[in-house]
């Protein structure tokens, strides 16, 4: 048996490795608290679950769904975009439901990337942008996201020869893993850059609803001309705690949406219809759950930041997203530091380098830890500080 080169070259998915380590520890009876994956611990709101159960009882929903989704779902997505962002979408041509944003993010590379083509990808960034590119036979060109630039890419640094081969540009705000946000100005500059170089833009925006201190993230599609050159991926995973149900969407440029529809209709058979009805309920039902969840995340954010700063890790409170991007202490790399935390105090964080070279020097903590675990995890982090200062004292003797 000989595997394809594309599989041999495929790195293991970051969280598969982390989850394996956690499972090994737990199998040995060790208590591990994980701040690693951004998977909301708060349940899906009741009204959504009730709709899902009701729809699951209806035999109409036991059959193959249409691959472009229920017209009523596309309509509900368009209404939500108009009401939330003031963006008007044609539900038949500019909206496509997905089996979670991750699926669409991976598959859209097949619509644009031929062998040797380039996709401009943020570093650090959600790994699927580059993996999708590579599976399609292309090459990611990494755009560094650094603190000095507010974790926004500097398009001026992309060399001419790369620009000539670039077909796609990936951006993601509120950002994973840095927690940075972008304003309309940045999105307008992105549109200008993309138009100048004939590059299609994919904005990945699953965290627009997770925001703090009254801040309201904007949509890329609010930028003037955005729909002529790009699409936005979105998801119900984080907004409505629906990671387990697998539903998201892509909206925007009709040529791009249609191309992805063509790929998907050949590869999958759509989203289970009961889940589509649950998504319609999420968009059209009461929205107060979003404020309630954000209040919980904001309280956790403040507790985590305070503890990190207490133990000497520099981290700023993010305005949005589920993540805290913390600088690690001098003398560590992010993998060693992550291992040290796990071995010493049984706390899991994600090493920044897992998101790319420019993530080195950082770790990511997710705010999706239930309150009891959070308190325990934070007191363990305090314990980690104590053992290090003891170590420093002995090594100074």
- Answer yes or no whether residue 38 interacts with ligand PLP by CB under 6 A: yes
**What residue has token string 């598969």?**
16
**What residue has token string 């060399």?**
159
Tell me the C-alpha to C-alpha distance, in Å, between residue 295 and each of 20, 193, 212, 289, 318.
32, 37, 8, 10, 14
Q: Which residues on neighbouring strands pair with residue 204, listed in sequence order?
A: 233
3-state secondary structure of 114: coil
Nearest to residue 194, comparing CAs of 174, 167, 222? 167
Residue pair 181/150 in contact by the 8 Å Cβ criterion: no
If the CB atoms of residues 61 and 321 are measured against ligand PLP, the closer one turns out to be 321
Nearest to residue 221, comparing CAs of 212, 233, 206? 233
Find the binder of ligand PLP among 69, 80, 85, 102 (CB under 6 A). Answer: 102
Q: Which stretch binds ligand PLP (CB under 6 A): 42-50, 80-88, 100-108, 380-388?
A: 100-108
Min dist. Cβ of residue 317 to ligand PLP (A): 19
Min dist. Cβ of residue 233 to ligand PLP (A): 7
Q: d(Cα 128, Cα 272) in Å, to the nearest integer?
A: 23
Q: Which stretch binds ligand PLP (CB under 6 A): 95-103, 224-232, 263-271, 362-370?
A: 95-103
Backbone φ and ψ of 134, nearest 5°: -70, -40
- Answer yes or no whether residue 190 interacts with ligand PLP by CB under 6 A: no
If the CB atoms of residues 70 and 307 are measured against ligand PLP, the closer one turns out to be 70
Q: What is the dihedral of CA 27, 346, 331, 145, to 10 degrees?
A: 90
The three-point CA angle 297-302-308 to 5° equals 120
Q: d(Cα 380, Cα 159) in Å, to the nearest integer?
A: 46
Write down the H helix ranges in the chain: 5-8, 14-27, 46-56, 71-85, 101-112, 128-135, 160-165, 184-197, 226-229, 254-267, 273-284, 288-310, 334-345, 371-396
- Answer yes or no whether residue 366 interacts with ligand PLP by CB under 6 A: no
Min dist. Cβ of residue 102 to ligand PLP (A): 3
Give the contacts of 12 (CB within 8 A, at least 6 positions apart): none
Give the per-residue contact string, 197-216, with ligand PLP (x = CB under 6 A; - = no). Answer: -------x-x----------
For residue 316, give both structure tokens.
């700023």
Min dist. Cβ of residue 129 to ligand PLP (A): 9
Give the per-residue contact string, 104-133, with ligand PLP (x = CB under 6 A; - = no). Answer: ----------------------x-------
Q: Which stretch binds ligand PLP (CB under 6 A): 63-71, 98-106, 153-161, 336-344?
A: 98-106
Min dist. Cβ of residue 88 to ligand PLP (A): 23
Min dist. Cβ of residue 126 to ligand PLP (A): 4
Find the binder of ligand PLP among 45, 65, 69, 100 (CB under 6 A). Answer: 100
- Interface residues for ligand PLP in 217-256 (CB under 6 A)? 235, 237, 243, 248
Q: d(Cα 342, Cα 349) in Å, to the nearest integer?
A: 8
If the CB atoms of residues 270 and 346 are measured against ligand PLP, the closer one turns out to be 270
If the CB atoms of residues 112 and 207 are measured against ligand PLP, the closer one turns out to be 207
If the CB atoms of residues 101 and 158 are measured against ligand PLP, the closer one turns out to be 101
If the CB atoms of residues 129 and 381 are measured against ligand PLP, the closer one turns out to be 129
Min dist. Cβ of residue 307 to ligand PLP (A): 23
Q: d(Cα 204, Cα 227) in Å, to the nearest integer?
A: 14
Q: Which stretch binds ligand PLP (CB under 6 A): 94-102, 148-156, 215-223, 343-351?
A: 94-102
Give contact residues for ligand PLP (rule: CB under 6 A). Answer: 38, 100-102, 126, 172, 176, 204, 206, 235, 237, 243, 248
């Amino acid at each position: 048996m000989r595997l394809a080169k594309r599989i041999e070259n495929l790195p293991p998915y970051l969280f598969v490795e982390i989850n394996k380590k956690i499972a090994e520890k737990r199998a040995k009876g060790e208590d591990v608290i994980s701040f690693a994956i951004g998977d909301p611990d708060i349940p899906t709101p009741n009204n959504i679950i009730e709709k899902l159960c009701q729809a699951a009882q209806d035999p109409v929903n036991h059959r193959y769904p249409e691959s472009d989704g229920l017209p009523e779902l596309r309509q509900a997505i368009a209404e939500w975009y108009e009401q939330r962002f003031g963006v008007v979408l044609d539900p038949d041509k500019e909206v496509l439901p997905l089996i979670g944003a991750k699926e669409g993010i991976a598959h859209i590379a097949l619509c644009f990337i031929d062998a040797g083509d380039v996709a401009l990808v943020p570093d650090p960034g959600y790994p699927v942008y580059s993996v999708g590119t590579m599976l399609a036979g292309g090459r990611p060109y990494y755009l560094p996201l650094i603190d000095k630039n507010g974790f926004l890419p500097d398009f001026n640094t992309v060399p001419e020869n790369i620009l000539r081969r670039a077909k796609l540009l990936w951006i993601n705000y509120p950002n994973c893993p840095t927690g940075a946000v972008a304003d309309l100005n940045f999105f307008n500059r992105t549109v200008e850059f993309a138009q100048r170089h004939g590059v299609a833009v994919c904005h990945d925006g699953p965290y627009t609803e997770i925001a703090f201190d009254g801040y309201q993230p904007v949509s890329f599609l609010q930028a003037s001309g955005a729909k002529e050159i790009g699409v936005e991926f979105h998801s119900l995973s984080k907004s409505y705690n629906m990671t387990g149900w697998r539903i998201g969407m892509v909206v925007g440029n009709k040529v791009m949406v249609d191309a992805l529809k063509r790929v998907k209709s050949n590869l999958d058979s759509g989203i289970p219809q009961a889940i589509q009805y649950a998504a319609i309920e999420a968009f059209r039902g009461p929205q107060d759950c979003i404020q309630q969840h954000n209040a919980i995340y904001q309280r956790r954010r403040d507790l985590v930041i305070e503890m990190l700063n207490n133990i000497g890790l520099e981290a700023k409170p993010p305005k949005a997203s589920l993540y805290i991007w913390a600088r690690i202490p001098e003398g560590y790399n992010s993998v060693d530091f992550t291992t040290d935390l796990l071995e010493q105090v049984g706390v899991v964080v994600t090493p920044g380098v897992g998101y790319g070279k420019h993530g080195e020097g950082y770790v990511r903590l997710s705010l999706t830890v239930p309150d009891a675990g959070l308190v325990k995890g934070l007191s363990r982090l305090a314990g980690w500080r104590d053992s290090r200062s003891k170590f420093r004292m002995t090594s100074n003797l």
